[in-house]
């Protein structure tokens, strides 16, 4: 287990950094005078996070297939394409709805999509006169819409209006708590955190993971503040301007603690789902880690909290 983690962990980190760096390069592409300018409504820039959106969409599709296995383990009759569509719809809507759109219209669009998905799921489930399991099928669709659509959608919202380095920092801080908790728990862990849910987790591991997340958050903030690579975009007519933002360290350290703790909560939520379904891992996509859901369980739950912490940091 540890051998595979040490092999595939760095590979996934390198892949993530490569995608984020390339995604950041696309931020500097000038569309002025090109055919693409008309495609993007006259803007002189590409929407931030297009490459990340494609990667996240792929993860949502893989995660949706794993969710289908969990649902079926509970005896829920579901349509796999509808489950995959549910996750994709939640994610893409979060990314595609314009920031400048009125809040009432934006909420109406999102609500209409949810209602349409809900009704479509029921129609597809009962199209051959089948009535049993209709409630479960509709609930599974809404579950996927939120868990694999709305929650990671916050990561895309962060990427849409912040530098690529901010997104990689959020993910790195969250996953560092997993790493810190794992090694601290193995070294000195004695007091079980929630033995009936996750027997391997300890209070010592949680504290060690949170401290590592806070230290990493502080280090990343120092680097970002020093080199001016952190900030957010401000729209100006058909263009935009990047505004550098130095994050106060007195805010970053406790924010790292909080993100680490919430990340562990996200891991426990995934454990709850798997225990309910009677399975150990959501899949076997990555040796040593399990399935896609086993990897993204903490970042997706952290995402909305990270979004609002960044908004608060901007206000501060």
Write the DSSP string, the chain: -HHHHHHHHHHHHHHHHHHHHHHHHHTT-B-TTSHHHHHTTT-SBPPTTHHHHHHHHHHHHHHHHHHHHHHHHTT----HHHHHHHHHHHHHHHHHS-TTS-HHHHHHHHHHHHHHHHHHHHHHHTTTS--TTHHHHHHHHHHHIIIIIIHHHHHHHHHHHB-HHHHHHHHHHHHHHHHHHHHHHHHH--SEEETTTEEEEEHHHHHHHHHHHHHHHHHHHHHHHHHT--EEEEEETTEEEEEE-PPPHHHHHHHHHHHHHHHHHHHHHHHHHHHHHT-S-S--SBTTTBSHHHHHHHHHHHHHHHHHHHHHHHH-
Are the beta carbons of 137 and 121 closer than 8 angstroms? yes
Are the beta carbons of 232 and 215 closer than 8 angstroms? no
Are the beta carbons of 208 and 180 closer than 8 angstroms? yes
Instruction: Identify the band that residue 98 occupies on the pLDDT scale cut at 50, 70 and 90.
Output: confident
User: 164-213, pLDDT tens digit by residue?
Assistant: 889 889 999 999 999 999 899 989 988 999 999 988 899 999 999 999 99
What is the Cα–Cα distance from 85 to 289, expressed in whole angstroms?
25
Which residue, 130, 100, 138, 127, is CA-closest to 237? 100
Are the beta carbons of 99 and 87 closer than 8 angstroms? no
What is the Cα–Cα distance from 7 to 12, expressed in whole angstroms?
9
Mean residue pLDDT across the chain: 88
| Residue 38 pLDDT > 80 | no
Percent of the chain with pLDDT over 90: 53
Q: What pairs with residue 202 in β-bridges? A: 192
User: 270-309, pLDDT tens digit by residue?
Assistant: 999 998 988 887 777 776 677 889 889 999 999 999 999 9
| Residue 63 pLDDT > 90 | yes
pTM of the model: 0.91
Q: What pairs with residue 185 in β-bridges? A: none
CB atoms within 10 A of CB 38: 10
- pLDDT computed for residue 66 by the predictor: 92
Instruction: Identify the band that residue 4 occupies on the pLDDT scale cut at 50, 70 and 90.
Output: low
């Amino acid at each position: 287990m540890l051998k595979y983690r040490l092999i595939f962990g760095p590979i996934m980190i390198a892949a993530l950094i490569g995608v984020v760096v390339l995604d950041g390069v696309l931020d500097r592409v000038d569309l002025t005078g090109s055919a693409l300018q008309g495609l993007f409504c006259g803007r002189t820039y590409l929407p931030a996070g297009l490459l990340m959106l494609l990667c996240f969409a792929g993860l949502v599709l893989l995660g949706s297939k794993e969710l289908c296995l969990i649902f079926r383990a509970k005896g829920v009759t579901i349509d796999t394409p509808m489950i995959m569509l549910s996750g994709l719809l939640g994610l893409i809507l979060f990314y595609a709805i314009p920031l400048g759109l009125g809040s009432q219209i934006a909420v109406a669009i999102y609500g209409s999509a949810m209602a349409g998905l809900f009704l479509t799921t029921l129609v597809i489930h009962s199209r051959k006169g089948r009535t049993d399991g209709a409630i479960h099928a509709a609930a599974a669709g809404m579950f996927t819409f939120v868990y694999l659509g709305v929650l990671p959608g916050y990561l895309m919202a962060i990427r849409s209006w912040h530098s690529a380095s901010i997104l990689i920092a959020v993910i790195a801080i969250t996953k560092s708590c997993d790493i810190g908790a794992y090694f601290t728990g193995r070294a000195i862990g004695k007091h079980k955190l929630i033995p009936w849910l996750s027997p391997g987790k300890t209070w010592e591991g949680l504290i060690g993971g949170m401290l590592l997340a806070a230290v990493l958050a502080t280090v990343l903030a120092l680097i970002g503040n020093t080199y001016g690579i952190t900030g957010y975009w401000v729209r100006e007519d058909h263009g935009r301007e990047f505004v550098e933002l130095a994050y106060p360290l007195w805010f970053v350290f406790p924010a790292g603690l909080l993100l680490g703790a919430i990340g562990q909560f996200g891991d426990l939520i995934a454990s709850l789902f798997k225990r309910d379904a009677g399975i150990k891992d959501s899949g076997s996509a990555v040796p040593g880690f399990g399935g896609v859901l086993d990897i993204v369980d903490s970042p997706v739950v952290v995402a909305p909290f990270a979004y609002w912490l960044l908004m608060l940091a901007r206000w501060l």
